[in-house]
Amino acid sequence: MGKFVNNTEEFFTFCEENDVQFVDFRFTDIKGAWHHVTYRMSAVNAGQLNGGLPFDGSSIDAWQPINKSDMLLKPDVASAFLDPFTADPTIIVFCDVYDIYKNQAYERCPRSIAKAALKHADSLGIADAAYFGPENEFFMFDSVTFVDNINEAGYKVDSEEGEWNSNNPYPENYNTGHRPGTKGGYFPVAPTDSAVDIRAEMMQVLEQVGLEVILGHHEVAQAQHEIGIVFSDIIGAADNVQKYKYVVKMIAHLNGKTATFMPKPMFGDNGNGMHVHQSLWKDGKNLFYKEGNYANVSEMGLNYVGGIFKHARSVAAFTNPTTNSYKRLLPGFEAPSVLTYSSQNRSAACRIPYGAGEMATRVEMRFPDSTACPYLAFAVMMMAGLDGIQNKEVPIGPMDEDLYELSLDEIREKGIPQMPHTLRGSLEALIRDNEFLKPVFTDEFLDAYRHYRFERDVWPDEGRPTAYEFKTTYQC
């Protein structure tokens, strides 16, 4: 799998061979949402692909003001692939955003920021390549409803796999009785795993759009799933997350389901993570490999982990960027919130896969989730890791005991730091600790991002009463 075209000439040849009627130009905003504008194929020429396409940036959250709204989309033709869902042949092209007022890559464009992070690693003489392998978990429900008004609030998700449906007669009093139950969804076969065919369809379509698929399986929670894909470079891996989420949501939709990457949509069951495998390379050599060390990981690899842990509270503002993110990072639900590393223990915030050889040795950060903008999350972790390499930060560990069994007091006694407990905490940490990002992330971007998250997520969430508050407080 991989690229379908390499340059502008091949792009037009590919479009002609596939009778392409429309070109869909897509870009990503600071919260990770995909946006698009569709051109007729007949209206697209080489000058536009090379010079850029104009669009209005003022209607995108936390982007340009109305008086400076004109921006350019810079297509990356090597990213092009055929949309598997449109009625008419359509080709999708990833774009970077260009600031015409400063004559440079737009400082709030996540894809451009990730490119700048890789250039920074190269400029330091540390690495010329960075590879990332995200694992994005998701739920697939039969329906979701929610309300958020001044006098009422609530939500309901439903799935035939949910144990709450064990007494549901369904049409004609037919109930299969095969359900995974809470925390019982890991690897059961059909009919308990009810999504074998839908996942298979997702896997096939992911390959159609250029991803190399390894496996698919039911995850621990009811109605929860994961599809494993091959790692890529920092930009390719982030692009693949956007493709992955698009395909998963569309296949679910076309099968009468609804998919979500929300970290914690159900109380009392496991949540969705985005475990991210990472390694740095130079001149074709894996810088994280040292045979004979613990899990064959080099000192540089551990320093990289140490840098991420040192800045973890700030990093979380990008890797766990929603209030719902922190409902997942609670003890008891395989939430890797304790900042230590292990080669075998999945309760640690960083796992170093056991027994990996030179080509496969890597570090796996387990705390991020899929509400993160992948370009920003990968770039921030790499910047923190590079800072750790430069300052020779040493993480606490290894710890191979079950960290889920430790009390908070025991964790504190051992001197092990933890992830922040709220989005407010991570954003306030970002105010205090952001110098490690400055070589790539501008003050203007960091201020805009922080204010956006406070105004969109933190303050509205903190101001709303919840059903549980009524349960515990109404009669006081």
Please tell me the distance from the alpha carbon of residue 205 to that of residue 196, in angstroms, as a whole number: 14
Q: Are strands 213-218 and 153-158 parallel, antiparallel or unpaired?
A: unpaired
What are the structural domain ranges in the chain? Answer: 8-106, 129-473
- Selected from 3.40.50.2020, 3.40.50.2300, 3.10.20.70, 3.40.50.1100, the CATH number assigned to the domain covering 8-106 reads 3.10.20.70
pLDDT at site 73: 97
Q: Residue 62, by phi and psi: left (phi above 0), alpha (psi -120 to 50) or beta?
A: left
pLDDT at site 333: 59
Tokens at residue 8, please?
């502008």
Please tell me the distance from the alpha carbon of residue 474 to that of residue 468, in angstroms, as a whole number: 10
Closest to 326 in 3D by CA, of 435, 218, 422, 453:
422
Banded model confidence at residue 332, pLDDT cuts 50, 70, 90: low
C-alpha distance from residue 329 to each of 82, 369, 373, 386, 419 (Å): 37, 10, 18, 25, 8
**Percent of the chain residues past pLDDT 90, beyond the cut:** 86
Tokens at residue 428, please?
């306030």
Highest-confidence range of 63-72, 172-181, 258-267, 353-362, by mean pLDDT? 258-267
pLDDT at site 4: 94
Give me the chain's average pLDDT, please.
94
Banded model confidence at residue 302, pLDDT cuts 50, 70, 90: very high
Burial code (b: 16+ CB inside 10 Å, e: under 16) for 61-82 equals ebbbeeeeeebbbbbebbbbbb
Residue 21 pLDDT more than 70?
Answer: yes
Tokens at residue 96, please?
């970077």
Mean pLDDT of the 290-298 span: 94
Instruction: Determine if the peptide bond prior to 353 is cis (ω within 30°).
Output: no
Q: Tens digits of per-residue pLDDT, 313-331? A: 999 999 999 999 999 998 6
Tokens at residue 125, please?
């003489």
- Which residues participate in the annotated binding site for L-glutamate? 270-271, 328, 334, 346, 366
Q: Tens digits of per-residue pLDDT, 237-261? A: 999 999 999 999 999 999 999 999 9
One-letter amino acid identity for 391? N
- Which residues participate in the annotated binding site? 135, 137, 219, 226, 270-271, 275, 277-279, 328, 334, 346, 364, 366
Helices and strands, number each (H, E), in the chain: 14, 19
One-letter amino acid identity for 212? E
| Residue 335 burial (10 A CB sphere; 0-12, 13-18, 19+) | buried
pLDDT at site 331: 67
Mean pLDDT of the 60-82 span: 94
Residue 102 pLDDT more than 60?
Answer: yes
Tokens at residue 449, please?
């991002």
- What is the CATH superfamily name and number for domain 129-473? Glutamine synthetase/guanido kinase, catalytic domain (3.30.590.10)
Q: Are 302 and 371 in contact (CB under 8 A)?
A: no
Residues annotated catalytic, as ranges: 56, 135, 137, 219, 226, 275, 346, 364, 366
Least confident of 234-238, 301-305, 326-330: 326-330
Tokens at residue 233, please?
């470079």
Q: pTM, whole model, 2 decimals?
A: 0.96
Better-predicted residue by pLDDT, 332 or 246: 246
Q: Are 120 and 439 in contact (CB under 8 A)?
A: yes
pLDDT at site 412: 77
Please tell me the distance from the alpha carbon of residue 45 to that of residue 77, in angstroms, as a whole number: 12
SS (H, E, C) 142-169: CEEEEEECCCCEEEEEECCCCHHHCCCC
Residue 1 pLDDT more than 60?
Answer: no
Banded model confidence at residue 202, pLDDT cuts 50, 70, 90: very high
C-alpha distance from residue 84 to each of 142, 210, 243, 357 (Å): 23, 11, 11, 37
Please tell me the distance from the alpha carbon of residue 314 to that of residue 335, in angstroms, as a whole number: 18
Banded model confidence at residue 399, pLDDT cuts 50, 70, 90: confident
| 3-state SS assignment for residue 277 | strand
Least confident of 210-219, 342-351, 368-377: 342-351
- Which residues participate in the annotated binding site for ATP? 277-279, 346
Q: Residue 264: CB partners within 8 Å, gap ≥ 6? A: 271, 272, 324, 325, 327, 328
